[in-house]
């Protein structure tokens, strides 16, 4: 990957005077990932379209003030538990752990002050053919009432000319639960295009999804088959094709905001997103059991980067993770972590072009 390099600068300053640093990983054909230490967030991801023009394909803010004013998880590393925990409580080894609710009665994305609102530390910057940055956050035992000191690292690495890989690892001092993910909002037309994602074509490698109640908590019982429902993305389908169907699950989620139960195990292809207007294609690989598909239902017109007002369906989140509310569901994949284990989670965002597009 000749020409790949790293740029480091200061993105902004927190109210207490601490600097928020930014590291830019540069690949080929204009491909570029910009990571900030506030929330260990992917602040921008620049990718070429079918004609070679480059644009930012994730929502973000141009300055730290935007992130502080509006908690929207743009590109953030979320934890200690991504997604929802019902009634902000769970049982662990016979003890009840009570969390702070921040989504009605439930805990969402680590509660009121999750990892997305923490200043991470850069521990390693690697130049060369696969430029990378590693960030560290140490979550104290009892932070947000979660048990165990948790040492968390996330590494962003360009593993191919137009491929970004994200690796999460964590170690705990005593039994706890962990579920980390990246919360990027994607629009493959590019932020500058001022379009929504309803024409994007999505494929998800899942035969089942989790039905939810009106508060987005998974319902009792087995996962539901996608066949014959608006949740069947086993073949490429426009996101907007069925999003307004008269369907109880779409009403409960205000669109798509559901966990898809991925087939197989290990690092494998979980989803493909195609933008026909400009020909960008993104494949997402993960080693996690679930993929939360969120169609930007609660984007409310808040000002984002490049002066754009981000509104409903302006972007799509694809969040690999353990299933929501798993700490309260022994029938779900387990998020439990003990001291002699290392939590590991890998995501690959692989970009290409279709040869079509404007």
- Write out the catalytic residue numbers: 183, 319
The answer to whether the CB of 6 falls within 8 A of the CB of 24 is yes
Residue closest to 34 by CA, chosen among 55, 8, 13: 8
Residue with tokens 């620049």: 46
171, 343 Cβ separation under 8 angstroms: yes
- 3-class secondary-structure state, position 306: helix
How far is the first Cα of the chain from the last one, in angstroms, to the nearest whole number?
28
Cis amide bond preceding 141, omega within 30: no
**260 and 254 in contact (C-beta within 8 Å)?**
no
Q: Which two tokens stand for residue 226?
A: 């996608």
Written in H, E and C, the secondary structure of 178-243 is CECEEECEECCCCHHHCCCCCCCEEEECEEEECCECCCCCECCCCCEECCCCCCCCCCCEEHHHCC
Residue with tokens 């990027």: 184
CA dist 197 and 193 (Å) reads: 11
Sign of torsion over alpha carbons 181, 187, 190, 195: negative
Q: Phi/psi of residue 45, each to 5°?
A: -140, 110
Asked if 20 and 13 count as a contact pair (C-beta separation under 8 A), the reply is yes
Q: Which residues on neighbouring strands pair with residue 310, listed in sequence order?
A: 302
């Amino acid at each position: 990957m000749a020409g790949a390099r790293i740029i480091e600068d200061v993105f902004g300053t927190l109210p207490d005077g601490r600097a928020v640093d930014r590291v830019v990983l540069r690949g080929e054909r204009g491909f570029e990932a910009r990571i900030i230490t506030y929330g260990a967030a992917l602040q921008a991801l620049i990718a070429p379209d079918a004609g070679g023009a480059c644009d930012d394909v994730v929502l973000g803010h141009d300055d730290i003030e935007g992130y502080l004013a509006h908690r929207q998880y743009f590109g953030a590393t979320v934890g200690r538990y991504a997604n929802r925990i019902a009634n902000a409580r769970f049982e662990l080894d016979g003890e009840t752990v009570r969390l702070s609710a921040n989504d009605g009665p439930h805990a969402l994305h680590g509660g009121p002050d999750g990892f997305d609102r923490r200043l991470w530390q850069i521990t390693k910057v690697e130049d060369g053919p696969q430029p990378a940055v590693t960030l560290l956050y140490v979550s104290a035992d009892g932070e947000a009432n979660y048990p165990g000191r948790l040492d968390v690292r996330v590494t962003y690495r360009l593993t191919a000319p137009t491929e970004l890989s994200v690796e999460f690892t964590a170690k705990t001092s005593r039994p706890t639960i962990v579920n980390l993910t990246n919360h990027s909002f994607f629009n493959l037309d590019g932020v500058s295009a001022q379009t929504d994602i309803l024409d994007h074509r999505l494929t998800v490698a899942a035969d089942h999804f989790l039905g939810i109640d009106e508060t987005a908590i998974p319902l009792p019982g087995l996962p539901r088959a996608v066949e014959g429902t608006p949740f069947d993305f086993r073949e490429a389908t426009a996101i907007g094709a069925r999003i307004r169907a008269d369907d109880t699950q779409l009403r409960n989620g205000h669109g798509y905001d559901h966990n898809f139960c991925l087939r197989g195990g290990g690092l494998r292809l979980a989803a493909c997103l195609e933008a026909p207007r400009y020909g960008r294609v993104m494949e997402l690989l993960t080693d996690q059991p679930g993929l939360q598909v969120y169609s930007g239902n609660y984007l409310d017109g808040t000002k984002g980067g490049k002066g754009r007002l981000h509104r409903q369906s302006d972007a799509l989140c694809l969040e690999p993770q353990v299933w929501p509310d798993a700490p309260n569901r022994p029938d779900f994949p387990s998020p439990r972590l003990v001291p002699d284990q290392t939590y590991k989670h890998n995501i690959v965002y692989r970009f290409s072009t279709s040869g079509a597009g404007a």
